[in-house]
Structure 1
Amino acid sequence: MHIAIAGNIGSGKTTLAGLLGRHYGWDIHYEDVEDNPYLADFYNDMRRWSFNLQVYFLKSRFSQIVKIREGNTSVIQDRTIYEDSVIFAANLFDMGLMSPRDYENYTGLFNLMSSLIAPPDLLIYLRASVPTLVRQIEMRGREYESSIRLDYLRRLNERYEGWIKNYRESNLLIVDVDNNDFIKDRSNLSAVIDKVDSKINGLF
């Protein structure tokens, strides 16, 4: 079984992946952030490093999915390959931070990779307002994220909502992070687990 968590920067994907992975005994596939050689450069100069960053994430995510499909264990994945293209690369292109040539090249690569994989069995989308995202980004204190602009987060949120509204590829669970602080409140985490249980039981 392949479960994936989607959501904007700071929505709590990594934390929830760890909590659910430990609760259910699933293998956890985290997003490659700490070892990403482009991330800090990207936040300092988005136009220069946007294509490099997105190709790195695409390669990393595709590699994860190949391993997931080759294995025989249940896995929870921190962010999906679809977000890389539909949310982040598209947003960078629309903001003029990725050139048409690079975007066309990237999109062709994504379309090729996505044609070779299957969507997750369950997608958990973490919906969070910009103030919640900012608070949680500040809490984790990653230096390279200190320069993230509010309008950038707002644009990403708008794209996430549009994507989720039309998502039909697999089973979907939406978690309202503004009203479910599963990081600090165990009762909220239990409520999320109950919803995940219901969705998982519906898969079989």
Structure 2
Amino acid sequence: MSETVRAQGAAEGGSMALERYRYLVVEGPIGVGKTTLARKLAETMDARLLTEQPEAVPFLPKFYQDMSRYALATQLSFLFQRVDMVASLAQIDLFHGQTVADFLFDKDLLFAELTLTDDEFKLYSDIYQHVSVAAPTPDLVIYLQADPATLIERVQSRDRDSERLFGETYLQRVAERYSRFFYDYADAPLLIVNTDHLDLVENADDFRLLLRRIEGMRGGREYFNKA
């Protein structure tokens, strides 16, 4: 459910700029690199890392093969996993440590709306209302964007055979749902990052640019784009 990361990544620089963020969330569509960036930020901050565990969802490989048949079971498995992780957040003293997560619990219904039938979504929503727990409000949400073509390229380059079944149409719909969700999001400060021309993991200069952009955050919603 959770992973404690202790690393020497602070040598990258910029860790002081992140000290005010006790709970930081990285979000974005499939293939955008949110988990990898969350891990790198956690290393830099010497923070606790919370990541979704898709390998612990038994229905996920079947979902990739037959989305309509296994969508509800897959969604419920992820829901229960996230509920457990959010419950663990409530036990963390966020004032004496930092946490980085690669998911925002509030966006849980995004994929449900995309993959479930109307009847399934109603059932899922009822279950969601009964089991959902109050998550702490992040000090900062970093929303990673990329064009569907970029997402396809990144998914294809990853060593995950099941993900390669995703078509551009599906990733386009996912990206659109994320854009729609974060268009109205106002619960926490939001940094929207266009990653089409950024390599935030392998390119140290790009990562330092991001750290400086985070340090310079002044408003509730800001944008970072490298042309």
Answer yes or no: same fold by TM over 0.5. yes
1:37 aligns with 2:58: yes
Structure 2 residues without counterparts, runs of 5 or longer: 1-21, 221-227
Distance (whole Å) between structure 1 residues aligned to residue 131 and residue 216 of structure 2:
31
1:88 maps to which of 102, 105, 111: 111
Q: What is the aligned counterpart of 1:26 among 40, 47, 57?
A: 47
Q: Which residue in the other structure is 2:37 paired with?
A: 16
Aligned: 1:134 with 2:168: no
CA contact (8 A) 1:4 1:79 kept: yes
Q: 1:115/1:64 Cα in 2 relative to 1: closer, same or farther (>3 Å)?
A: closer
The Cα shift of 1:183 comes to: 2.5
Paired residues of 1:61 and 1:80 also in contact (CA < 8 A):
no
Structure with the greater alpha carbon radius of gyration: 2
Distance (whole Å) between structure 1 residues aligned to residue 132 and residue 217 of structure 2: 24
Q: Which of 100, 103, 112 pairs up with 2:121?
A: 103
Distance in 1 separating the partners of 2:216 and 2:49: 20
Among 50, 67, 76, the residue aligned to 2:71? 50
- Matching of residue 71 in structure 1 with residue 92 in structure 2: yes
Q: Which has the higher contact order (CA 8 A, sep 6+)?
A: 1
- The answer to whether the 8 Å contact 2:47/2:98 transfers is yes
Alpha-carbon spacing, 1:26–1:197, altered in 2? closer, same or farther (3 Å): farther
In 2, the alpha carbon distance for the partners of 1:144 and 1:168 equals 34
3-state DSSP class of the match of 1:70? coil
Equivalent residue number for residue 223 of structure 2: none
How many residues in Structure 1 have an aligned counterpart in Structure 2?
Answer: 196
**TM superposition shift of 1:114:** 4.5
Runs of at least 5 residues in structure 1 that lack an aligned partner in the other structure: 93-97
1:49 is displaced (CA, Å) by 0.6
Q: Give the letter aligned to residue 206 of structure 2.
A: N
**How far apart are residue 197 of structure 1 and its match?**
2.8
Query: The residue matched to 1:184 in structure 2 has which SS?
Result: coil
- Structure with bigger helix share is 1
Superposition TM-score, scaled by structure 2 size = 0.80
Q: Deviations over 1:166-194 (max 9, x none)?
A: 00111111111112211331111111112
